Structure 1
Amino acid sequence: MFGISVYDGMFGPGQATMLMYTFLRNGATYLQSLAFTRFQTFISCTAAFITYFLAGNIAWDIAIYYTIGSLIGSQLAVRVAQKISTRQLKFILHAVTIALLLQLILRIAFP
Structure 2
Amino acid sequence: MPAPDVLLYGLPLAFLAGFIDAVAGGGGTITLPTLFLMGLSPAQAVATNKLLAIFGSGSATVQFWRAGQVERGLVLRLVPLALLGSGLGAWLVHFIDPNAFRGLVAAVILGVGVLVLVNKRFGLEDRYPGLTPRVLALTLPGTLVVGVYDGLLGPGTGTFLMFLFTLAGFNLVRSSGNARTINFATNLGAFVYFLLGGQMVFWIGLPMGVANALGAALGARMAMLRGSGFVKAIYGVIVVLVAARLLIR
The 3 A distance-change label for structure 1 pair 57 and 90 is same
Q: Say yes or no: does 1:86 pair with 2:228.
A: yes
TM-score, structure 1 as length reference: 0.78
Instruction: Give the structure 2 partner of residue 56 of structure 1.
Output: 198
Match of 1:10 among 131, 138, 152: 152
| Contact preservation (8 Å) 1:38, 1:74 | no
Q: Name stretches of at least 5 consecutive residues in structure 1 with no aligned partner.
A: none
Which of 161, 181, 188 pairs up with 1:19? 161
SS at match of 2:145: helix
Do the aligned residues in 1 keep the contact of 2:173 with 2:227 (CA within 8 Å)?
A: no
Give the corresponding residue for 1:95: 237
Instruction: Pick the aligned partner of 1:30 from 172, 189, 194.
Output: 172
Superposition deviation, residue 60 in structure 1: 1.4
CA displacement at 1:82 relative to structure 2:
1.6
Cα separation, 1, equivalents of 2:202 and 2:241: 32
Structure 2 length as normaliser, TM-score? Answer: 0.38
| Structure 2 unaligned regions, length at least 5 | 1-142
Q: In structure 1, what is the Cα distance between the partners aligned to 2:226 and 2:185?
A: 27
CA drift of 1:105 comes to 8.1
Letter matched to residue 70 of structure 1: N
Aligned length: 107
Distance 1:27 1:89 in 2: 16
Does the Cα contact within 8 Å between 2:173 and 2:224 map onto a contact in 1?
yes
Does the Cα contact within 8 Å between 1:4 and 1:19 map onto a contact in 2?
Answer: yes
Higher relative contact order, chain-length normalized (CA < 8 Å, sep 6+) = 2
Any residues of structure 2 matched to 1:63-82 within 5 Å, and which? 63-82=205-224
Contact 2:223 2:230 in 1 (8 A): no
**8 A contact 1:4–1:18 mirrored in 2:** yes
Which has the higher mean CA deviation after the structures are superposed, 8-17 or 71-80? Answer: 71-80
* Corresponding letter in the other structure for 1:14: G
Q: Which amino acid aligns with 1:81?
A: A
Q: Distance in 2 between matches of 1:105 and 1:53?
A: 24
Q: CA RMSD in A?
A: 2.3
| Deviation at residue 99 of structure 1 after TM alignment | 4.2
The residue identity in structure 1 corresponding to 2:204 is I
Aligned mate of 1:47, from 166, 186, 189? 189
> Could you say which structure has the larger radius of gyration?
2
Identity over aligned pairs, percent: 25
